Amino acid sequence: MFLFIILAALAAGAVGATVRALTNDGFRAVPTDPRRLP
């Protein structure tokens, strides 16, 4: 059971890191994105 919890946490962290990296790349590719205002 503990192993399953650890695997689930690792999977969630990997997905979150991937989503964050993709959104950061998108913001860098489109610097005029209104969501990226200072």
pLDDT in the model for residue 34: 60
Query: Is-above-0.75 flag for pTM?
Result: no
Q: How many other CB atoms are there within 10 angstroms of residue 16's CB atom?
A: 10
pLDDT in the model for residue 8: 92
Structure tokens that stand for 18 in this block = 């991937």
pLDDT in the model for residue 1: 87
- The per-residue pLDDT for range 2-34, each reduced to its tens digit, is 999 999 999 988 888 777 777 766 555 555 556
pLDDT in the model for residue 15: 85
Q: How many CA atoms lie within 13 A of 23 on its CB side?
A: 8
pLDDT in the model for residue 31: 57
pLDDT in the model for residue 26: 56
Residue entry with tokens 């610097």: 31
